[in-house]
Amino acid sequence: MFAMPRTPRIIGFGGRSSAPPGAFSKLDAYVLELSGADRPRVLYLPTPSGDADASIVMFYERFTAHAEPTHLKLFGAPDAASWRPRLLHQDVIYVSGGNTANALAVWRTHGMDVVLREAWESGIVLCGGSAGMICWFECSVTDSFGPGLAALRDGLGFLPGSACPHYDSEERRRPVYQQLVGAGFPGGFAVDDLAAIQFERTALKEVVTEAEGHDAYRVEKVGDIVRETRLPGRLLA
């Protein structure tokens, strides 16, 4: 009996969840449901956090009761021949928040960027918040380079255009993103904390939110004007 092919999916969270640190959230449940597995295999990739042990512990606290969790550290990791089969045997790959530029550099050094694309194309669900959201796009707004916000133009490029997380929780995100788009930065998606965007292949499929008033937006330049369009979202039960 042949397994049905799975649709490539990416889910990006704008930032924090409404659940306490280390607690399973509505957005976590949403991701596991999209995997289609009764007890999904979920691999945590904490590269943006510098493989921080604290974030790994919280990941296990969140998922052990609901999935089959594991994690992969790349700092000091062996070559891809040892971890590539593990990565491609998952239902979900969950990328941490942290420093996006550093994560991209480490992934490219180890060939993880190539394997992540292979995982995505095979139908393994890719997801994450903040850095774990914007890494999948061509471009993004990031604080990877210092205390201020700046353009990152060399993302993985699985999804076209740009992205901006923390749209409602960090006051500089909205004006900086809109200034960049107005100056020629590719248009894209901005996402509030507590909200998420789901893509099937490269097309936006759905916006979901844990609470009213936390949304996602399409931000693009139309003529000489930067237009922000709120995208209708579904409130998670």
Residue 91's alpha-carbon distances to 56, 67, 101, 115, in angstroms, are 18, 10, 26, 14
- Whether 1 maps to a domain, the answer reads no
Per-residue confidence band for 4, with pLDDT thresholds at 50, 70 and 90: low
Which pair of tokens denotes residue 98? Answer: 């942290």
Q: What is the pLDDT of residues 94-121, one digit of tens each?
A: 999 999 999 999 999 999 999 999 999 9
Per-residue confidence band for 28, with pLDDT thresholds at 50, 70 and 90: very high
Domain count, the chain: 1
CA 1, CA 136: separation in Å to the nearest integer?
A: 33
Per-residue confidence band for 77, with pLDDT thresholds at 50, 70 and 90: low
- Whether 2 maps to a domain, the answer reads no
Looking at the DSSP bridge assignments, the partners of residue 9 are 200
Which pair of tokens denotes residue 160? Answer: 């076209």
Question: Dihedral, CA atoms, 91, 30, 45, 170, nearest 10 degrees?
Answer: 160
Q: What is the pLDDT of residues 172-216, one digit of tens each?
A: 999 999 999 999 999 999 999 999 999 999 999 999 999 999 999
Per DSSP, 49 falls in state G
Task: For residues 120-134, give the mean pLDDT.
Answer: 98
- Residues 145-151: contacts with CB within 8 Å, 24+ apart? 145/101, 148/172, 149/173, 149/176, 151/180, 151/185
CATH number at residue 33: 3.40.50.880
The alpha-helical segments, DSSP class H, found in 43-127 are: 53-63, 80-87, 100-110, 112-121
- Whether 3 maps to a domain, the answer reads no
- Whether 107 maps to a domain, the answer reads yes
Three-state secondary structure string covering 129-165: ECHHHHCCEEEEEECCCCCCCEEECCCCCCEEEEEEC
Catalytic sites, residue numbers: 130, 166
- Whether 169 maps to a domain, the answer reads yes
- Whether 119 maps to a domain, the answer reads yes
Can you give the pTM of this predicted structure? 0.96
Per-residue confidence band for 82, with pLDDT thresholds at 50, 70 and 90: confident
- Whether 206 maps to a domain, the answer reads yes
Instruction: Give the three-class secondary structure for 59.
Output: helix
- Whether 187 maps to a domain, the answer reads yes
Report the pLDDT value the prediction gives residue 33, as an integer from 0 to 100.
Answer: 97
Report the pLDDT value the prediction gives residue 79, as an integer from 0 to 100.
Answer: 74
pLDDT above 90 covers a percentage of the chain that reads: 90
Count CA within 13 A, CB hemisphere, residue 114: 8
State the residue range of the domain holding 111: 9-235
